[in-house]
Amino acid sequence: MYLRTISRKNKDGSVVRYLQLAHNVRNPKGQAQAKVVYSFGREDRLDRAALERLVRSICRFLDSDSELAACAQGELSFISSRRLGDVWLLDRLWERLGIGAKLKELLRDRRFSTDVERVLFALVANRAINPASKLAATDWARGEAAIAGLADMTEDQAYRAMDFLLEAAEEIQREVFFQVANLLNLEVDLIFFDTTSTYFETECEDDFRKYGHSKDHREDRPQVVVGLAVTRDGIPVRCWSFAGNTADVTLIERIKDDLRDWQLGRVVMVVDRGFASEENLRYIQRAGGGYIAGEKLRSGTPSAEEALARPGRFMKVAENLKVKEIVVGEGARAKRYILCLNPQEAERDRIQREETLRRLEAELASLKQISGEPHRKAACLLRAHKSMGRYLKQGADGRLSIDRAKVAQEARLDGKFLLSTSDQTLSTEDVALGYKQLAEVERGFRDLKHTLELRPIYHRKEERIRSHVTLCFLALLLIRVAETESKMTWREIKAELGRMHLGEFSGPAGRVLQRTATTPTQQEIFRRLRIKEPPRFFEISS
C-alpha cells in the first residue's frame, strides 16, 4: 500500500494533482494493476491535519525504530535511534529541582576532564529507567539514551563522579528539599522515617557491611541499613546509610540532628514500633521536636494495658478508621495515646483466627495424645508453629489443648493498633491519619528495592556504597515528583514516554537528528508536568 499522485490538465493549461491511497493487485492476466483504496482529493486542498492523524494512528503499531525508519525520505538513510522521552522528562525535572544548578555551583572550582553533572544525571536516569551496574550504565548512556550534553562516558568517569557526589550529598539533599517543598507547596510539619536493610552476596563482613537483623530475611549475608525520611505526600526528604549492625538509638540521634540543622521549624517525626523506645522518644523531643509513634499492643506494659482497658466510644475519622483518645498519668508525666480500630481489619483478623483454630483442633485430634506419655515429634512441631502454637497450652498431665483465655485476649486486639504522641496540638484524627501515611516510606523502600533495584550492590568500598544509595535516592525523588504531578505511576509514564526515540539519519547532504511524533498521551504527560515537548529536530548538519 502506498500514496500516489495523478495529474489532470485543465483547458487553461494548468495542471492539478490528486493524492490517492492505493495498492497493487493482479488482474486476470497476472499483471500488476493499481487499485485506489481512498482518494484524498486535490493536493493543494489537502486536509493535512487528517493526514497527520492517519500517520499517528499507523505509528501506534510500529516500534520506535520502525517509525523513524519510515520517516526517512529521499536519499536519507536511517542509522540508529536512542531513547528520548523519559530521559527528557527526568532531565527537565533535574533542572527544575535545582539539582543540576547546585552540582554546577559546587563544581565551579573543581577540575574534571568530563562534565560530572551530566555523568551523575546519566547514572540517576539509568536507575530510574533501566537499572544496571555502573559498567552497563555507561554503555546505556553512550548508546541507548539521548542525554543532552553528554558526548561520551566511561566507567572511571562514573566512579569519579560518584566520589564527588558523596562529598556534595549533604548540600544537594538540603537544596533539593527546599526546592521541592516550594515547587509542590508541600507540608513539612510531619516527617516520616523508617529503615530497611539491603544485603550483599558475600559472606565476608567489614567495618561497614555487617551482620544484623535483616528485613530481607537474609541473616546469612552481611548488610547495610538504609534510612529514608519522606513528607506526608511521599516525597523523599533525605536518605542515610549506616553499618549493618547500627542500633536504633544511634539512628534516631543522627537523623534528629541532621534534620535540626535544616531549621525546618516545628517537625513531628512519625516512626513505627521499632523506634518507640523511651530513650528514642526522649531524644526526638529535644529542642522542641515532637513524635507520633506506634506502640506494641502485645507488649504487656501497664500503659498499653490501661489504654486497652479504658472505657469510651470510638469516633469515626475515615472510611475505615475509628479512634479513641486516652491520657495515661497526670501532670508532667501524662502520656497521650490514640487507640485506633480498623473494622475491616478486625473482621479479617476474626476470620483468620477462626480458621487457625479449626486447623488446630484437627491437628490436636490427629495427635492421639495419651496422658503421662512423652510428646511425639508432631506435638513439638505443633507447639513451635508460628500461627497455631500461640493458642496452645499444656496441662498438668502433659496434654496439649487450646488456651481459650489466650484466644479471648487476641480477640480484644482485632483490627486495633496503638499510637502515642508528644504533640498536644494535633487532633486525634491528624495523629491517626498521619501514622497511616507512614506507609509512604514503605512504598519508597519497595520502589528503591524493586523499581530502582537498590540491590544487588556490587560495590565494596564504604564510600561507593553510600554514593550508590544517594543515586537511588535522587532517582526515587525524580520519579515520585513525576508521579505526584502527573497522577500516574512511574511504570505508566516510562512505558509511554519510552516509545519516544531520537533517530539519526544520514545522506549525501549531511546528518539529521529527528524524534518520533508525539502521541496524545505523551502530550498529556508533558502538559501535567508543565514540561515543553522536545524539539522535533535536534540537529541538521551538512
CATH of residue 205's domain is 3.90.350.10
In angstroms, the CA 116 to CA 156 distance is 12
pLDDT at 214: 85
If asked whether residues 286 and 187 sit together in one domain, one would say: yes
Query: Is the domain of 282 the same as that of 374?
Result: no
Last residue of a domain, one of 168, 202, 233: 168
Residue 4: which pLDDT band, with cuts at 50, 70 and 90? confident
Model pLDDT, residue 71: 55
Residue 478 lies in a domain: no
Q: Would you say residue 519 lies in a domain?
A: no
> How far apart, in whole angstroms, are the C-alpha atoms of residue 248 and residue 325?
28
In which band, very low, low, confident or very high, does the pLDDT at 39 lie, cut at 50, 70 and 90? confident
Residues 186 and 288 grouped into a single domain:
yes
Q: What is the DSSP letter of 375?
A: P
Decide which of 342 and 298 is more confident: 342
- Summarised one tens digit per residue, pLDDT across range 401-456 is 899 999 998 898 899 988 988 888 888 888 898 888 888 888 888 898 888 888 87
Can you give the residue range of the structural domain that contains 384? 345-411
Task: Give the list of residues 6+ apart from residue 296 with CB closer than 8 angstroms, or none.
Answer: 273, 276, 304, 418
Looking at the domain assignment, is residue 464 inside a domain?
Answer: no
Is 89 part of a structural domain of the chain?
Answer: yes
429 and 317 in a common domain: yes
- Highest mean pLDDT: which of 97-106, 275-284, 507-516? 97-106
What per-residue confidence (pLDDT) applies to 159?
Answer: 93
Instruction: Answer for the pair 200, 456: CB distance below 8 angstroms, yes or no.
Output: yes
Q: What is the mean pLDDT of residues 199-209?
A: 86
pLDDT of 531 strictly over 70: yes
Question: 32 in helix, strand or coil?
Answer: strand
How many angstroms separate the Cα of 198 from the Cα of each of 208, 209, 446?
Answer: 12, 10, 12
Strand 335-341 and strand 501-507: the pairing is unpaired
Domain-terminating residue out of 129, 146, 168: 168
pLDDT in tens, 212-253: 888 888 888 899 999 898 888 788 888 999 998 887 777 888
**151 and 185 housed in the same domain:** no
- Which of 132, 150, 168 finishes a domain? 168
- The SS3 assignment for 24 reads strand
Nearest to 239 by CA among 261, 220, 219, 254: 254
Q: Is 192 in the same domain as 231?
A: yes
Q: Give residue 71's identity as a one-letter amino acid code.
A: C
Residues 6 or more apart in contact with residue 185 via CB below 8 angstroms: none
Counted domains in the chain: 3
Residues 284 and 174 in one domain: yes
| 128 CB-contact burial (10 Å; exposed 0-12 / middle 13-18 / buried 19+) | buried
C-alpha cell at 230: 519522606
Whether 47 is covered by a domain: the verdict is no
CA dist 14 and 446 (Å) reads 69
Helix or strand holding residue 26 (H, E): strand 15-26
Please say if the pLDDT value at position 54 is more than 80.
Answer: no
The answer to whether residue 208 is domain-embedded is: yes
Q: How far apart are alpha carbons 457 and 199 in whole angstroms?
A: 8
- Burial status of residue 429 (CB atoms within 10 A of its CB: 0-12, 13-18, 19 or more): middle
Q: Determine what percent of the chain is predicted with pLDDT higher than 70.
A: 90
User: Percentage of the chain surpassing pLDDT 90?
Assistant: 29
Do 292 and 213 share a structural domain?
yes
Instruction: Give yes or no: residues 294 and 438 share one domain.
Output: yes
Cα–Cα distance, 464 to 395 (Å, whole number) = 58
- Same domain? For 293 and 403 the reply is no
Q: How wide is the angle at C-alpha 455 spanned by C-alphas 94 and 135, nearest 5°?
A: 65
* Residue at 201 is within a domain: yes
Shared domain check, 427 and 308: yes
Do 209 and 196 lie in one domain? The reply is yes
Q: Is residue 40 part of a domain?
A: no
Task: Classify each residue of 68-104 as buried b or exposed e, where b means 16 or more C-beta atoms within 10 Å of its C-beta.
Answer: bbebbeeebebeebbbbbbbbbbbbbbebbbbbebbe
